[in-house]
């Protein structure tokens, strides 16, 4: 089973993202490109690049970084509504073609400041129905000529994208990642995504969601290769178990002093997946072997709500258990992003890729 390991580039104007120590934020090409090269050199396949209105444009940043690296795969987070599907399909195919097939795409349908960029807030069912149309048109434009599509939310007439994605003649195109834990989101993932990303739930929660999504793929008319699964989570790795937990508790204490606004966007706390994560604290402060739930109580959001904490062996063992459930894509991070990309890459990835260690 081939496993993919990606890191994270925060792509923020403001400094201090999740406690990061880089002065001036990450809206700096030299700084972000340096992180991408450290990611390459430390064994990662690439990195997720964060998105949201008020951040630098994610696709522009990914294009610039791709031009300064050789193997780095940007996992570009994009939003239907911010992009029209034909415009996106063309931009993505161009970047993928120019980079030799390095583009990965993360479709985001969650909360954002939609009115700021001229979008409108529909209810959950409308939001995900629109996302499904977006994905269908994008795939069609990557694989077909003279596409006509008349949907409820999007239309294209006689549309052809040139250039096609790298390797399109063999059926290849950029892999489409998708998140979301609501019933509406899971139906879209089961039908149209290539990879469903989960946040850091315990093993039993991930197993239950994989089983449900796998069953859904048989009832929603999926016509693509089998759905794959990924995990997006914070990994706090230190030389010893004791050192890791000491540092984790110190970080949470600092978060408690700073207040939740310093770490989390309140809009996201209303999402189904985020509420699932926050509810985990009721089951205990540490779940499974080393899943730490305390960060969520003090403002940690999204991938920062729960952390895997421990020595390289501890965290590698935990990640192998997720792999045993069917997780094949891992998007990991910790702050400071630059130092931890190197530390975690050097200490953790060799253990996960070494069959003797496994």
Q: What pLDDT digit, counting tens, does each position of 203-213 carry?
A: 999 999 999 99
Quick check: 318 and 245 in contact, CB under 8 A? no
pLDDT of residue 354: 67
Three-state DSSP class for residue 86: helix
The mean predicted confidence, pLDDT, of the chain is 92
Q: What pLDDT digit, counting tens, does each position of 298-326 carry?
A: 878 888 899 999 999 999 999 999 999 99
Round to whole Å and give the CA distance between 249 and 244.
Answer: 9
Residue 292 lies in a domain: no
Cα separations in angstroms, 222 against 132, 156, 286: 12, 22, 37
Cα dihedral 33, 194, 229, 354 sign: negative
Residue 254 lies in a domain: no
Residue 270 lies in a domain: no
pLDDT of residue 150: 97
Looking up residue 173, the CATH number of its domain turns out to be 3.20.20.30
Nearest-5° Cα angle at 41, 38 to 42: 85
How confident is the model over 186-196, as a mean pLDDT? 97
Residue 83 lies in a domain: yes
Higher pLDDT, 151 or 221: 151
pLDDT of residue 356: 45
Q: What pLDDT digit, counting tens, does each position of 48-102 carry?
A: 998 888 889 999 999 999 999 999 999 999 999 889 999 999 999 999 999 999 9
β-strand 4-9 against 327-333: which pairing, if any?
parallel
Residue 279 lies in a domain: no
Residue 76 lies in a domain: yes
Q: 106: closest CA among 85, 80, 87, 126?
A: 80
Quick check: 295 and 258 in contact, CB under 8 A? no
DSSP, residue by residue, 4-25: EEEEEE---SSS-GGG---TT-
| Domain span holding position 94 | 4-233+308-353
pLDDT of residue 1: 64
How large a percentage of the chain has pLDDT more than 70?
Answer: 94
Residue 315 lies in a domain: yes
Q: 197: closest CA among 273, 250, 271?
A: 273
Q: Is the peptide bond before 36 cis (omega within 30 degrees of 0)?
A: no
Judge whether residue 262 has pLDDT over 60. no
Cα separations in angstroms, 233 against 5, 166, 181, 331: 12, 30, 15, 7
pLDDT of residue 358: 46
Domain total of the chain = 1
The pLDDT confidence band at residue 117, using thresholds 50, 70 and 90, is confident
Round to whole Å and give the CA distance between 242 and 57.
Answer: 40
How confident is the model over 5-26, as a mean pLDDT? 89
Cα separations in angstroms, 21 against 41, 96, 281, 284: 21, 32, 27, 30
Residue 137 lies in a domain: yes
The pLDDT confidence band at residue 175, using thresholds 50, 70 and 90, is very high
Residue 105, strand partner residues: 76, 176
């Amino acid at each position: 089973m081939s496993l993919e390991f990606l890191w994270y580039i925060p792509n923020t104007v403001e400094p201090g993202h999740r406690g990061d120590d880089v002065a001036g934020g990450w809206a700096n090409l030299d700084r972000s490109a340096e992180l991408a090269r450290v990611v390459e050199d430390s064994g990662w396949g690439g990195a997720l690049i964060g998105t949201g209105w008020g951040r630098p444009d994610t696709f522009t940043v990914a294009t610039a970084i791709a031009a300064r690296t050789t193997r780095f795969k940007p996992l570009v987070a994009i939003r239907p509504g911010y992009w029209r599907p034909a415009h996106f399909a063309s931009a993505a195919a161009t970047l993928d073609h120019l980079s030799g097939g390095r583009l990965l795409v993360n479709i985001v349908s969650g909360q954002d400041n939609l009115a700021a960029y001229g979008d409108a807030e529909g209810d959950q069912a409308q939001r995900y129905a629109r996302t499904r149309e977006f994905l269908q048109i994008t795939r069609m434009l990557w694989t077909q000529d003279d596409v006509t599509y008349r949907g409820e939310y999007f239309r294209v007439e006689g549309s052809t994208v040139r250039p096609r994605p790298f390797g399109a003649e063999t059926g290849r195109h950029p892999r489409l990642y998708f998140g979301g834990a609501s019933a509406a989101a899971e139906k879209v993932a089961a039908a149209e995504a290539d990879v469903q990303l989960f946040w850091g739930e315990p093993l039993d929660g991930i197993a239950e969601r994989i089983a449900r999504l796998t069953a859904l793929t048989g009832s929603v008319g999926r016509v693509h290769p089998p759905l794959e699964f990924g995990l997006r989570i914070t990994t706090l790795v230190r030389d010893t178990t004791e050192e890791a937990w000491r540092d984790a508790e110190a970080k949470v204490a600092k978060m408690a002093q700073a207040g939740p606004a310093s770490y989390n966007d309140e809009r996201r706390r209303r999402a189904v997946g985020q509420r699932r994560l926050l509810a985990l604290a009721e089951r205990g402060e540490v779940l499974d072997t080393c899943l730490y739930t305390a960060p969520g109580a003090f403002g940690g959001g999204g991938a920062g709500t729960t952390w895997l904490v421990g020595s390289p062996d501890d965290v590698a063992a935990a990640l192998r258990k997720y792999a045993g459930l069917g997780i094949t894509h891992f998007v990991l991070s910790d702050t400071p992003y630059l130092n931890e990309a190197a530390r975690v890459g050097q200490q953790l990835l060799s253990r996960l890729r070494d069959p003797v260690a496994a």
